[in-house]
Amino acid sequence: MNMNQKLLVTLEGGVKRITFNRPERRNAVDLEMFAAFAEAIDEAARDESRVVVIAGAGDSFCAGLDLSTIAAGDAAASLDVAATVRELINPPILRMRALSKPIIATVHGAAVGIGFSYVLASDVRVASEAATFSQSFVRVGLMPDGGSTYFLPRLVGRARAFELMATGAAVGAEEALRLGLVNRVVAAKEFEAVTGELAAQLAAAPQPSLARIKGALSRAEQEELAAALEYEADGQADCFRSADFREGVAAFMQKRKPEFGKHKTTAAKGDD
């Protein structure tokens, strides 16, 4: 069952596989893919799946937001960013954590921006040796969303989370393992076999047990996560209105280093 060609969804042997399928764009996500991903996660609560696997086609997991889709014309200016985040990004993140079935993120290549957020929202995270992780939002004048401001500091501590978010630095697979961002690192040639075996193992496990384990671990987080997602929606809208974001997108499209702070921008909110 394919949502569309950009997001492939299959269900076999109790394993639901959701694959970002734009390898020519490093699986960058556009608005259509956001909606399809949200629908696929929502359906996982009702279908015959016993485990959900999230993957990326080709050499990347997900390169984050496809900036080319909003770079042309006045698309960014006309977009209601807060509403879009609340409608397309926040619900599947909450659903991923509330879902009674385990979710495995299988990361080969780059997990960037919202792609990294989807990884953090998953229950088990397996990386190939070629995996890299980056909170790249700041590189184009944005802030992290998709729950990263909630998940990341709880995994690596506030200071390290701030550094990763404020610099947008990429973390390799072994460093990600050391920081606790992933459960294991697997050799590229063994990656498909190992992740397939793990998915099969969880699909064969007693589902009431897994549901209760996941529920117990997630029981206290829903209210705090929802509040973090709300803050991210408002904050991202502020960032989208800034001159620094316009400069970040222009620099990205022109393949040059951005020069932030050169133009007047709106004041950041959040200290009121």
Give the per-residue pLDDT at 267. 45
Give the per-residue pLDDT at 69. 77
Query: Domain extents for the chain?
Result: 7-254
3-state secondary structure of 21: coil
| C-beta neighbour count of 30 within 10 angstroms | 17
CATH architecture of 7-254: Alpha-Beta Complex (3.90)
Cβ proximity of 23 and 81 under 8 Å: no
Task: At 23, list the tokens.
Answer: 């390898």
Give the per-residue pLDDT at 2. 53
Query: What is the pTM for the complete model shown?
Result: 0.92
* Sequence-ordered list of residues with C-beta below 8 angstroms from that of 237, at least 6 positions apart, any chain: 80, 81, 82, 85
Give the per-residue pLDDT at 79. 79
Average pLDDT per block of 10 residues along the chain, 272 residues long: 80 98 96 96 97 97 90 61 94 97 98 98 98 97 97 97 98 98 97 97 98 92 94 95 92 92 58 45
How many Å from the N-terminal Cα to the C-terminal Cα in the chain? 47
Give the per-residue pLDDT at 266. 47
Residue of 171, 178, 51 lying closest to 123 (CA atoms): 51
What single-letter DSSP state applies at residue 4? B
Cβ proximity of 190 and 129 under 8 Å: no
Q: Are strands 170-172 and 132-134 parallel, antiparallel or unpaired?
A: antiparallel
Give the per-residue pLDDT at 28. 96
Give the per-residue pLDDT at 131. 98
Give the per-residue pLDDT at 71. 60
